[in-house]
Amino acid sequence: MSGGEGIAGGEGIAAGSLAERELARQPARPPVLRVDGLEKSFHRGIWPVRRATAVLKGASLEVRAGELIGLVGENGSGKSTLMQIVVGLLKRDGGEVERPARLGYCPQVPMLWDKLTADEHFELFARAYGLDEKARERAVAGLLAELQFAKYRGYRVEELSGGTRQKLNLALSLMHEPRLLLLDEPYAGFDWETYLRFWEMSERRRDSGMGILIVSHLLAERERLDRMYELCEGRICAC
């Protein structure tokens, strides 16, 4: 997997669909994520009844700076697996991934410590991102205001509702203002107001140059997206 703050400029996407032709007309923006021919199989059981299930069979996609991209597919189509490989949580069997070293990741199921407070989570992740105290406080104050959960910053995760946990989950992925943001079903548990606020936040960040990839089995807000990929049988079947 390639690291580095930027990845090399990508080739133009062959004009096919309306969205692709629209993209081709736009001035070239640098790609922040390029996935090419990604393959992944999971192995279950022990010999001699060990079996392999191929989940990704050559999936390819690209996200450019300042793009809000959707990735949809049926349950078990490999969306979350693809995202976990891009993030570095899973190893890939084949293919290439080029992405910036600085990325944000909001997992589908909040990966948090139940007995630590929201503030303690911010401290831990700020250290991982290399933010100093001043930068951390500025980022946290902004996110708490945007997502409206400042009053819960001293609460332990086990004391938070599902929706507030999800807000914390999302805030942790955003606090270092990454160049590439990967969101896996990010609005599960949000109420309607928060859901709308989430899309406004995403659009603001897209407009400021962040590349965003949103994974969902169902994307109702297609008009807000610049493009949408569909994953079928382990490959991108529509863009």
Question: Which residues make up the interface to other proteins (CB under 8 A)?
Answer: 42-43, 87-91, 105, 107, 109, 111-116, 120, 123-125, 127-130, 156, 172
Query: Which of 108, 227 has the CB closer to other proteins?
Result: 108
Considering the complex, what minimum distance in angstroms separates the CB of residue 126 from other proteins? 10
Cβ-defined contacts of 217-222 (< 8 Å, 24+): 217/72, 217/73, 217/74, 217/75, 217/79, 217/185, 218/72, 219/70, 219/72, 222/70
Which residue, 107, 138, 103, is CA-closest to 122?
A: 138
Look at residue 237 and give its three-state secondary structure. strand
Considering the complex, what minimum distance in angstroms separates the CB of residue 16 from other proteins? 34
Given a contact cutoff of 8 angstroms between Cβ atoms, the answer to whether 30 and 77 are in contact is no
Given a contact cutoff of 8 angstroms between Cβ atoms, the answer to whether 146 and 201 are in contact is yes
Query: Which of 15, 89 has the CB closer to other proteins?
Result: 89
Query: Which of 174, 225 has the CB closer to other proteins?
Result: 174
Query: Which of 27, 130 has the CB closer to other proteins?
Result: 130
